[in-house]
Amino acid sequence: MSQSNKFKTQATAFYILLLYIACQLSGLLLLIPGVGDLFLQFIDADTKESGIILVAWWSTITMAITFIVSFILISKNKNFWNVFKGEKASIGESIGWGILGFFLVLVGQSIAANIEMALGIPMGSENTETIVLITEIAPIMMVTTVLFAPILEELIFRRVVFGSIIQTQNFWLAGIISAIVFAAIHLEFTHLLIYAVSGLIFAFLYYKTKRLLTSIIAHMLLNGFVSITQLFIDDIERIMKEMQMILIFLP
């Protein structure tokens, strides 16, 4: 890659990072008197839960805008995806690794959770509980959780952060730095290890296949699995108890 193309690619990555930061901070606009009320008129949410509905729609729309603008910027730079040397994995292989990566993350999180418990850190994620609460009231939040958030987070933390560092450093340094940044952005510092392990596995998937599609698939599956499990936890527990009863009475 020529020096001019390299500079253009770094500039694109920087603009996308700024765009993502602006998206994350855009919620502060809702603190301006009148802004939230004005926005609520467009989504027809005149209920006692209008504040939660507002947050859900605001998150979804701002992330959708960030997604669209980011890929418009990327489309103007053909070298943006040229991070690694060598041939990329096929689409089929990338999808396969993405599905396998989902299970790798589950195992990694389980190990990290056990380490945290051994250290006396209580289980449970306030971030997850908040998102689930919002989703129960405003299902549109599921679009953000399962679609836009995984794509944008992989674009930022794997392509922009990890992808920029690994061009001059080894996998472990780039992976650990990007994983720590990924963990910190979730603002749950007691569970830093769980998020960091997830981030490191996502980085490995990207590095392994040289396609961001792989880590996006794994991330989407993880968010979808956690969301559905939490939303229907009571039904799942009831079904499990019923299955146990059936097994007891099998001849």
For the question of residue 191 being annotated catalytic, the response is no
pLDDT tens column, 32-77: 887 777 777 766 655 667 888 888 999 999 999 999 999 999 999 8
Range with lowest mean pLDDT among 36-50, 99-113, 164-178, 202-216? 36-50
The whole-number pLDDT of residue 156 equals 97
Average pLDDT over residues 173-182: 96
Q: Which of 93, 116, 126, 186 is catalytic?
A: 186
Report the candidate in 77, 85, 39, 34 with the shortest Cα–Cα distance to residue 58: 39
pLDDT tens column, 131-165: 888 898 889 999 999 999 999 999 999 999 999 99
Cα separations (Å) of 37 from 41, 58, 86?
A: 7, 12, 52
Q: Which of 153, 154, 191, 219 is catalytic?
A: 153
For the question of residue 186 being annotated catalytic, the response is yes
The whole-number pLDDT of residue 89 equals 95
Q: Where are the domains of the chain?
A: 3-248
pLDDT range class, residue 96, cuts 50, 70, 90: very high
pTM for the whole thing?
Answer: 0.89
Q: How many CB atoms lie within 10 A of CB 116?
A: 17
